[in-house]
Amino acid sequence: MHEMSIALAVVDQVEEAARSHGATGVRTVRLRIGELAGVVPDALAFSFGLACTGTVVEGAELVTETVPGRARCASCDDEWAVGMPPRLICPVCDRATAELVSGRELLIAAVEWHDDPADPRVREPISQEG
Amino acid sequence: MCRVVDLQQAVLAKNDATAEVLRKELAARGTAVVNVLSSPGSGKTALLEGELLLARERGVTAAALTADLATENDAVRLARSGLPVKQVLTDGLCHLEADMLAGHLHGWLAEDTRLVFVENVGNLVCPASYDLGEALRVVLASVTEGEDKPLKYPTAFGLAHLVIVTKTDIAEAVGFDEAAFRANVEQVNPGVDVVLTSARTGAGTGVLLDRALAAAEGTAVHMPVMAQARA
Ligand SMILES: Nc1nc2c(ncn2[C@@H]2O[C@H](COP(=O)(O)OP(=O)(O)OP(=O)(O)O)[C@@H](O)[C@H]2O)c(=O)[nH]1
Ligand SMILES: [Mg+2]
Ligand SMILES: [Zn+2]
Ligand SMILES: [Zn+2]
């Protein structure tokens, strides 16, 4: 089960980001997982709970958004939902000229955290702040 | 105080970056890694035994690395070719990652090695997500596994540069429907080649070696639709 490896990579990156922003706790981690990423969200959620133990990420809620697989045909410009199992041959012209538009994402989209008001870094403006 | 920071970071960014560095380093000296994926028991070791023997006969400098959760059996089998072989025990991990491979190749691989065959852990799910810096990714399915394997493991088959059917000597006995298998492969990976092999009869032996050598020489490999977009 490689979801544990994926979870560790997520925790690692969130920890790094949290540290560089002077955060003292993480409330939510938002992931975007494509249908074709080869990752099972439930297994990942389970592993995530274990992976964040003892880190600044401990106790954070994991929110995953599934990104549907979509493809576009370079010949006829048709765009379709590939489904599962995916159909990557164009349903209109039956040609093998597809490009994948989405579905392979495995991204940490956003992180929500608590700041330590005593940390001077917190007062610096953060450009990506949402 | 609480804030939201938009990260948009790829989870596997580190692995992908390590893989890319390894691929470039090896390509610069004319070396290609062949990443071999399949379910447990599909015949990875048997196929590689044939390819390594042939490589030895033809004087191709090749090496092999085989990853398993336990036992050195596969390395013992592959080492009979007389070529350098290394067994990697993954310590419970169900797949290889790029930094593991880079670590194992470092200081072990002879400078003039053209091909490194990597037998990944027998598993069609986890290894599919990890780029190892390979020039050629091969996915195997034996005739006993059912024609719908490509649909059940679309990420593995969808990212293959080459698909190899193994154990064709028993295809008839198990009623393997080649046309159905090919159609299923085509659905998830349009345009990829499907090669039929048997380690028993020797049918198809050498196809993988030729493709691997071509890749080492810089010949472009098939580009799977699924490999085109990677956020
Ligand atoms: N009939 C037949 N049997 C084969 C062939 N290739 C492999 N086998 C048998 O299939 C079994 C598994 O083969 P291996 O080569 O060990 O398979 P593997 O994929 O390396 O297995 P793991 O490393 O354990 O995942 C063995 O009993 C082999 O003898 C073949 O071409 N024909
Ligand atoms: Mg084996
Ligand atoms: Zn796994
Ligand atoms: Zn079309």
Give the minimum alpha-carbon distance from A8 to chain B in angstroms, rounded to a whole number.
10
Distances (CA, A) of B86 to A58, B43, B148: 39, 18, 33
For range A80-103, the mean pLDDT: 93
Question: Is A2 annotated among the ligand-binding residues?
Answer: yes
Banded model confidence at residue A110, pLDDT cuts 50, 70, 90:
very high
Residue having the nearest C-alpha atom to atom 21 of ligand 1:
B41
A90 is an annotated ligand-binding site residue: yes
d(CA B161, CA B154) in angstroms, rounded, equals: 13
pLDDT value, residue A123: 44
Minimal-distance CA residue of chain B relative to A114: B2
pLDDT above 70: residue A125: no
Nearest CA to ligand 1 atom 9: B43
Q: Cβ contact (<8 Å) for B158 and A88?
A: yes
Q: Who has greater pLDDT, B230 or B168?
A: B168
How far, in Å, CA of A48 to CA of A61, rounded?
Answer: 9
Identify which of A35, A127, A7, A61 has the alpha carbon closest to the alpha carbon of residue B229. A35
Going by C-alpha positions, the residue among A10, A47, A53 that lies closest to residue A32 is A10
Nearest to A111 among B5, B12, B15 (CB): B5
Which atom of ligand 1 has the smallest separation from the CA of B42?
19
Determine, for residues B8 and A106 on separate chains, whether the beta-carbon distance falls below 8 Å: no
Give the closest-approach CA distance of B187 to chain A in angstroms.
5
The mean pLDDT value for B80-97 works out to: 93
Write the CB contacts of B144 (distance below 8 Å, at least 6 apart in sequence): B167, B170, B174, B176
Contact flag B4-A111 (C-beta cutoff 8 Å): yes
Domain chopping of chain B, boundaries: 13-218
In ligand 1, which atom is closest to the CA atom of B49? 15
From the list B132, B105, B102, the residue with the least C-alpha distance to B120 is B132
Residues ≥6 apart with Cβ < 8 Å to B143: B165, B166, B167, B168, B170, B171, B174, B176
Read off the pLDDT band of B183 (50, 70, 90).
very high
pLDDT at A122: 45
**pTM for this prediction:** 0.93
Torsion of CA B177, B178, B182, B185, to 10 degrees: 60
Q: Which residue of A has its CA nearest to B92?
A: A1
Q: Compute how many other C-beta atoms are within 10 angstroms of the C-beta atom of residue B52.
A: 25
Give the list of residues 6+ apart from residue B86 with CB closer than 8 angstroms, or none.
B63, B64, B65, B66, B75, B104, B108
Q: Which residues of A touch B154 (CB under 8 A)?
A: 36, 84-86
Q: What is the pLDDT of residue B121?
A: 95
Q: How far apart are CA A55 and CA A114, in angstroms?
A: 14
Question: Which residues in chain B touch residue A98, judged by CB atoms under 8 angstroms apart?
Answer: 190, 225
pLDDT band at A2; cut points 50, 70, 90: confident
Mean pLDDT of B83-107: 94
Q: Is B69 on the interface with A (CB under 8 A)?
A: no
Cα B149 from chain centroid (whole Å):
16
B28 touches chain A (CB under 8 A): no
Q: Is the pLDDT of residue B143 over 80?
A: yes
pLDDT greater than 60 at residue A128: no
In the CATH scheme, what is the code of domain B13-218? 3.40.50.300
Question: Does A29 have pLDDT greater than 60?
Answer: yes
Q: Is B222 helix (H, G, I), strand (E, B) or coil?
A: coil
The per-residue pLDDT for range B153-169, each reduced to its tens digit, is 999 999 999 999 999 99
Which ipTM value was assigned to this complex? 0.86
**pLDDT greater at residue B155 or residue B230:** B155
Q: Which of A89, A113, A129 sits opposite B190 (nearest CB)?
A: A89
φ, ψ for residue B155 (rounded to 5)? -70, -40
Query: With 50 as the cut, is the pLDDT of residue B134 above it?
Result: yes
The whole-angstrom distance between A4's CA and the closest CA on chain B is 9
Look at B95 and A2 and tell me if their CB atoms are within 8 Å: yes
CB-based contact B15 A105, cutoff 8 Å:
no
Rounding to the nearest 10 degrees, give the CA dihedral for residues B113, B119, B125, B131: -10
